[in-house]
Amino acid sequence: MSVGKFLLVALRPADGAGQAEYQDFLDSTGLEPSQLDLFTIDAVGAKLPDLTSYDGVFVGGSPFNVTDLEHSGLQKYSHDVLYDVLRSPVPALLICYGASYTAFTSGGLVNLRHGEVAGSTRVELTEAATQDPIASVLPPAFYALTGHKESVAELPNHATLLATGPTCPVQMYSIGSNNWVTQFHPEMNANGLLRRMSFYTDVGYFDPEEVDAIRLKVSDVNLQAVASIIPRFMHVCTHAANPSMLMVQ
């Protein structure tokens, strides 16, 4: 298939966690740096590239929470950028914070009731997933890596729930004709999760004394199914000009 050209919109600092995230996307997509541009929202006014230059857009996670009582100027500006991503004709896959923001800005409800400690989570597909061009290639249940304080409590009316789970009711959904959202992290393997955790030791995603236990647990998790989401998204993106390729296969 055509590999295409993709953009990662990053809401983390360019060094440290941001660079680790970019490497996770390079690894999970199989792309070269020349095929995956990185746009970091590191300042108010940072200019989003022309999205029509890309076959698809990834939006990474963020240290922000939409449930925070006050939003900084940078968080508000990040929301403006994500608003433009959601309304672009270019397909987008928004991960973790994207689940909260997309619901928040589209009429849904986000709260702290179903946060998940950093580690693995069970994901279960809904009936609607069988008709989705991305979710339909997944098994009925699989495991993914996660870690978040807030989650979607109620989806917007025009969103479609694609996956749920016993510890987080909204794990994956679609909204509009070309936006997909996951609460979990399909771009990460076990090493990626542990590397990401090293940047957020004392901010409430996990108990620092439990790192060794988390390491042991995630090292045994089968991530083959969840790892297929990003390649499938890329396939849909590169065949978007041909509507028949977007049908469930």
User: Directed axis angle between helix 17-29 and helix 229-238, to 10°?
Assistant: 70
| Euclidean distance between CA atoms 103 and 95, whole angstroms | 12
What is the tens place of the pLDDT at every residue in 1-12? 467 999 999 998
* pTM (2 d.p.): 0.93
Residue 19: the pLDDT is 94
CB atoms under 10 Å from CB of 16, counted, come to: 12
Q: Which residue segments constitute the domains of the chain, with CATH numbers given? A: 6-240 (3.40.50.880)
What is the tens place of the pLDDT at every residue in 106-126? 999 999 999 999 999 999 999
Residues in Cβ contact with 143 at an 8 Å cutoff, skipping those fewer than 6 apart: 120, 121, 122, 123, 221, 222, 223, 225, 226
Would you say residue 151 has pLDDT above 90?
Answer: yes
What is the tens place of the pLDDT at every residue in 156-207? 999 999 999 999 999 999 999 999 999 999 999 999 999 988 888 877 678 8
What is the tens place of the pLDDT at every residue in 53-93? 999 999 999 989 999 989 999 999 999 999 999 999 999 99
From 46, 127, 119, select the one nearest 82 (Cα to Cα).
46
